[in-house]
Amino acid sequence: MKKTLSILLLLGVYQAHSQRTVTPQYLYWIHYQNQLVLSPKYYWVNEIENRRFFNPDVENQLIAHSHFHYKPGK
């Protein structure tokens, strides 16, 4: 009885998992990168990325990065 119940439960979980619907999402990304050279050894990089949906035109994510780099040995 236990074995049959386990098999039925596993089949139920499999059926519930396989009936998901997938909704396509259409996005476009806008990326901007700026590099400021402070000296031969130091430079600063800024990046902004905006991810938006096509229809309706709504913002999905806004990501900003800032990196300060040092080149040793120059």
pLDDT tens readout for residues 2-36: 566 566 566 665 555 556 788 888 999 999 999 99
**Which residue would you say has higher pLDDT here, 8 or 46?**
46
Domain assignment present for 72: yes
- Please give the full DSSP string across the chain, using - where no structure is assigned: -HHHHHHHHHHHHHHHHHT-------EEEEEEEEEEE-SSSEEEEEEEEEEEESSS--EEEEEEEEEEEE-TT-
**Short-list 27, 26, 71, CA closest to 45:** 71
Q: What is the dihedral of CA 12, 13, 15, 21, to 10 degrees?
A: 140
Q: pLDDT tens-digit profile of 52-65?
A: 998 888 999 999 99
Domain assignment present for 59: yes
Domain assignment present for 7: no
Across the range 41-68, mean pLDDT stands at 94
Tell me how many domains the chain contains.
1
pLDDT confidence of residue 41: 94
Domain assignment present for 70: yes
